[in-house]
């Protein structure tokens, strides 16, 4: 299964998720998953619903098991037996200006304040913030380059003047590492 996922360019997180879902199915079965029947898959999905497993988790398991049975084991009839749960995603809670200010003020230092500000202010995911490099900050164009974000896609995010000032402050205090701030661009335009 690992080789099949690697050949298809699956990311490390996706590979780990798929393996976890197949292991969970094997634990439910109590025997190797390659011995499963269509009825076993049905019982597993019924069990997930009875345990009130969330629809996103169920659908993740469906994707993993479809890959396992359809691609790795070449048993397409098993993959076709799995049912996707239809659901409407809920709107995320958006913090008010006051709540956001309180959150940032509660950060235990400039590093965490900068990281939270980048995540919330520029709309980056935690993994994207953690993987930012020095050259990802473009203070000339006021952009943050996100390389290989979700779905291994590159994108640009807006960089506000306030966020740039905060990142420069972090850099000036000497607390910055490779993560989160673009050294070249912050230094080049520090006086502008």
Question: In sequence order, what are the residues at sequence separation of 6 or more whose Cβ sits closer than 8 angstroms to the Cβ of residue 129?
Answer: 115, 118, 119, 179, 180
Lowest mean pLDDT among 25-34, 40-49, 136-145: 136-145
Domain with CATH 1.10.150 in the chain: 2-81
- Concatenated DSSP letters for 105-129? HTSSSHHHHHHHHHHHHHT--HHHH
**97-188 sits in which CATH class?**
mainly alpha
Q: Which CATH architecture has domain 2-81?
A: Orthogonal Bundle (1.10)
Categorize the per-residue pLDDT at 185 as very low, low, confident or very high, splitting at 50, 70 and 90.
Answer: very low
CA 44-46-47 angle, to 5 degrees, is 65
**Model confidence at 150, in pLDDT bands (50, 70, 90)?**
low
User: Which residues in the chain are classed under CATH 1.10.443.10?
Assistant: 97-188
């Amino acid at each position: 299964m690992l080789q099949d996922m690697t050949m298809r360019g699956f990311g490390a997180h996706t590979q780990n998720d798929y393996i976890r879902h197949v292991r969970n199915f094997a634990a439910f079965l109590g025997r190797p998953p390659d011995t499963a029947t269509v009825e076993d898959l049905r019982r597993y999905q019924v069990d997930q619903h009875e345990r009130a497993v969330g629809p996103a988790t169920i659908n993740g398991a469906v994707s993993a098991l479809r890959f396992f049975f359809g691609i790795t084991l070449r048993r397409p009839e098993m993959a076709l037996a799995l049912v996707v749960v239809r659901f409407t995603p809920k709107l995320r809670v958006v913090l008010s200006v006051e709540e956001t200010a309180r959150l940032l003020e509660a950060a235990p230092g400039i590093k965490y304040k900068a990281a939270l500000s980048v995540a919330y202010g520029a709309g980056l995911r935690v993994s994207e913030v953690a993987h930012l490099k020095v050259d990802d900050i473009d203070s000339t164009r006021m952009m943050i380059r996100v390389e290989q974000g979700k779905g291994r896609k590159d994108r640009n995010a807006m960089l506000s003047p306030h966020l740039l000032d905060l990142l420069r402050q972090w850099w000036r205090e000497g607390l910055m590492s490779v993560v989160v701030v673009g050294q070249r661009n912050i230094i080049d335009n520090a006086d502008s």
